[in-house]
Structure 1
Amino acid sequence: MKQNFTVRHGALDGVEAFLSVARHRNFRKAAAELGVTPSAISQAVRTLEARIGAALFTRTTRSVGLTEAGERFFSRARPAFEELIAASEVARDLGKRPTGLLRLSVPPAVMPILLEPLIASFCQAYPEIELEIVASGELVDLAAEGFDAGIRMGELVAVDMVAVRLTPPFPLVVVGSPDYLRRRPKPERIEDLRHHACLRLRRSNGSVAPWRFAKGNKAIEAIVTGPLIAHDYPTLLAAAIQGAGLAQVPSPIAGSAIADGRLETLLSAFAVTSPGIFLYYPERHQVLPKLRAFIDHIRRQGDTEVSRKPLPGRRA
C-alpha cells in the first residue's frame, strides 16, 4: 500500500542553531556566528530537542558536549544541511546570472533561417550556458518535457503562453520548380490546384493540413492531393525544388530558392499571412537570466527587426 510522506511544518527549525553549537561546543560562539542572542540559540535547541524527543547536548557551567543522540543527529544532519545550503546557492545562482542548461523545442524549419546563424555566437557570448536544441515538429508540453521555451509559428502558440516575437509576419507561399511548371500549366485560381500534384504537411496531431488561402476577407481551406506527405517544411521544400509538385510553405524558408530561380511563387493574390515566428514560455513572475540572455541575443543578432509584442489575446 502506497504511503504519503510529508515534511512536518517546522521540521528544520533549530537545526542550524544545533549545528553551530555542536561545531563550536559553545552557545555564545554559535549565537555570534548566527547573529542572534545566546538565549535565542538556547530556545531553538530546546525546541528541537523537544520535537525530537531526546537531549542532544550535555551542559555544565564550563562546557557543552554532545549526547549519543546528539552525536548521531550531528553526523546525519550536518552533511544534509550543507547539501541543502549548496542547493539553495545553486538555485540562487541560476536566478542571478546566465548559467545552467537552456532547453529549447524548435521546429526543423526554423533552424536554418533563425537559429543556425546565431548558435555559435550565443555559445561564445555565454559560455556558462549549456544550450540544448531539440528539433522537432511536435507541439510538446514545455513544463512536462523539461523545456525552458519553445519556438513556433504564432498561430500554433497556446493562449496561456507568454509570446515573444522573433520575426515580422510573413505569407505562406505556394511554390513550384520551373521543371514542374513546364509540365503543367500554372494555377491561376485556387480551384486549379485540383489538377496539380500538391505536397502536403502532416500535423503533430496526425491530421493532414489543408492549404490555407485568403480571398478578400474570406479565409479558405483547400483540400489538395499529391504524391508526398511529410512531417516538416524543409522536406516539402526540397521535394518541390526537385519537381515533385507544388508546396505551400512559409516564405522565409523558400526565400533563397525563389531568389536564385529554383522555385517560382504562385497564387500570390490569395496568400494568407502568418503572424510570424515567436518564442514562447509558460508564464512566470521572473524569466531566468539564461532565457533572457537568449532572447536578447536573438534580438541583437537577428537579420530581421525583432520587437517584443504579444499576439492578440496573449500576454507579453
Structure 2
Amino acid sequence: MDRDLLSHLPVVLCVARRGGFGTAASELGMSPSSVSHAVKLVEERLGAPIFARTTRSVALTELGERFVSLAGAGLAELNTAWERAQSELTGASGLLRINAPRITLDWVLKPILAAMAEDYPDVTCEVFFEDGLADVVGDGFDAGIRLGRMVSDDMIGVRLAPAFRVILVASPGYVERYGVPGTLSDISSHACIQYRMTSAGNIYRWDLQDGNATVQLDTKGGVIVNDMLQALSLAEAGFGICYTFEPLAKAALETGRLVEVLPTAFIEEDGLTLYYPRRASQAPKLRAFIDTAKRLA
C-alpha cells in the first residue's frame, strides 16, 4: 500500500461509520469535497469501489465491507500502540468514547466519571446515550454498557452493577384511586405506562414471574415513552403502573413517592456490564476506565 494513503483511511472509515459524505465531513471538520476526494483516491489506488453511491444513499460494496473491517482493525491496533507508547511518558490520554443507556448516568457512571476527571485529567470521556443495541466497533466507540445478557460472546465484559430485581411500581395516589392488581391477569384492567423499544420500535412486553413460570404480558395505557426514567416520573405523577429496574426506583420507594405492586411477580435481571473488544483493552485510556470502575464497584 502506498504510504500516502494511510492518512486517507480514517476518512474512509468515518464515511462507512456515518453512512454519508456530509455527516463524515462534519465529524472530521473537513469539507464534503475533501472527504469525497480522499475516498476517490483510495478507491482509485485500490482499483475497485468501496462505496456504492446513489443520489440518496451511500453504502459499502461487498469488497468495501471486508476492506473497512480489516482496515478498521489495523488502524485501531496502530492507535493502541501509539497511546500505549505515549502513556509511558505522560500517562493515559485521549478521547474515550462510550455508548450507554441513559439510565446509567446516575446509576453507575457519575462516580466513575468524577474519578476519571480527578485521576486521569488527560482523558476526555465522551458518553453517547442510546438505549437501543449498539455496534461499538462499527460505530466508533471504545466500549459500551448494557445488561449482561445483551453482551455478545465475542466481547470482554466487566461488571459495573450487580444483578437486580425488575418490579412494578405505582404512586400511592394511583393505588388509592384504582386499587392494586391482585394477580397478573388483573393488570389488563389497569393503566400501564408503556415503553417503546428505541431500536426495534415495538412496545415492550413485561416479563414477570407467575408462580414458577416467566410470562410476557401485553399492556395498555394512555402514555407511551421511550425513556425509563421518564416512565418513573409519570408513575410518581399517578399516570399508572410502571415496569422498572428496582435500583432506579429505590429513592422513590424509600420516601414513599412510589409503592411496589405485585411484589411476588418480580424477575431478576443481569447487572450492568461494560463491554469492549479484546484488542481494545490494551488502550491505556480504556484500561484507566476499567481500573477505575473496578475500584468503585
* TM-score, normalised with respect to structure 1: 0.65
Residues 157-176 of structure 1: pairs in structure 2 closer than 5 A: 157-176=151-170
Alpha-carbon distance in structure 1 between the residues aligned to 2:245 and 2:178: 23
Greater CA drift, 129-138 or 172-181: 129-138
2:139 matches 1:145: yes
Alpha-carbon distance in structure 2 between the residues aligned to 1:87 and 1:300: 26
Partner of 2:118: 124
Alpha-carbon distance in structure 2 between the residues aligned to 1:273 and 1:182: 28
2:238 matches 1:243: yes
1:222 to 207, 217, 225: 217
Alpha-carbon distance in structure 2 between the residues aligned to 1:142 and 1:174: 31
Partner of 1:188: 182
Contact 1:95–1:288, Cα closer than 8 Å, also in 2:
no
2:168 matches 1:179: no
Structure 2 unaligned spans of 5+: 4-77
Contact 1:94–1:288, Cα closer than 8 Å, also in 2:
no
SS at match of 1:225: coil
1:261 to partner: Cα distance: 0.3
Alpha-carbon distance in structure 2 between the residues aligned to 1:228 and 1:129: 41
2:99 to 100, 105, 116: 105
* TM-score, normalised with respect to structure 2: 0.69
Residues 197, 177 of structure 1: CA spacing in aligned structure 2 closer, same or farther, 3 A cutoff? same
Residues 26-45 of structure 1: pairs in structure 2 closer than 5 A: none
Which letter maps to 1:274? E
Give every structure 1 segment of 4 or more consecutive aligned residues whose post-TM-superposition deviation is greater than 3 Å. Answer: 86-92, 94-97
1:264 to 259, 264, 269: 259
Which letter maps to 1:180? Y
2:85 matches 1:93: yes
Which protein is bigger by CA-based radius of gyration? Answer: 1
Query: In percent, how many aligned pairs have the same letter?
Result: 35
1:89 to partner: Cα distance: 7.6
2:274 to 279, 283, 289: 279
SS at match of 1:284: helix
Partner of 1:298: 293
Query: Once superposed, what is the RMSD of the aligned Cα atoms?
Result: 2.2
Partner of 2:43: none
Contact 1:215–1:270, Cα closer than 8 Å, also in 2:
yes
Residues 236, 127 of structure 1: CA spacing in aligned structure 2 closer, same or farther, 3 A cutoff? same
CA offset digits 1:209-257 (Å, max 9, x no partner): 1011123432100011111111121011111011111111111110000
CA offset digits 1:117-149 (Å, max 9, x no partner): 332222111011111111121322111111011
